[in-house]
Amino acid sequence: GEDVEQSLFLSVREGDSSVINCTYTDSSSTYLYWYKQEPGAGLQLLTYIFSNMDMKQDQRLTVLLNKKDKHLSLRIADTQTGDSAIYFCAESIKGGGADGLTFGKGTHLIIQP
């Protein structure tokens, strides 16, 4: 079955880079996503990558995909206190969400001053 794994916590100093890692098992995954959830809020899409891409950069965010190892990472440059949240990795086969997204359990990003 499909499975998405993430480490539960990551602590970084303000101004440093944060790297959040994710592994998935379904080789049919076509779309891979990173969502952010702040306390008491719904999920916000940060970025996504197609499985035929290796890297995607969007301002402070860099997504790396190693399809051979089924490994996805999200790098946040110059981490700020406002980046404190839970970050979810998710995958989908069909895109459009028709098969639903499969989410990991989320990584709590903790920012130290």
Partner 1 sequence: ETGVTQSPTHLIKTRGQQVTLRCSSQSGHNTVSWYQQALGQGPQFIFQYYREEENGRGNFPPRFSGLQFPNYSSELNVNALELDDSALYLCASSSGTEATGELFFGEGSRLTVL
Q: Cβ(47)–Cβ(34) under 8 Å? A: yes
Task: Rule CB under 8 A: choose which of 90, 91, 109, 111 binds partner 1.
Answer: 90
Q: Is there binding between residue 13 and partner 1 (CB under 8 A)?
A: no
Task: Rule CB under 8 A: choose which of 76, 85, 101, 111 binds partner 1.
Answer: 101
Q: What are 1's two structure tokens?
A: 């079955």
Q: For the purposes of burial, counting CB atoms within 10 Å of the CB of 89, is it exposed (0-12), middle (13-18) or buried (19 or more)?
A: buried
Q: Is there binding between residue 72 and partner 1 (CB under 8 A)?
A: no
Q: Is there binding between residue 99 and partner 1 (CB under 8 A)?
A: yes
Cα(24)–Cα(93) distance, integer angstroms: 12
Binding residues (CB under 8 A) for partner 1: these are 4, 31, 40-45, 48, 88, 90, 92, 94-106
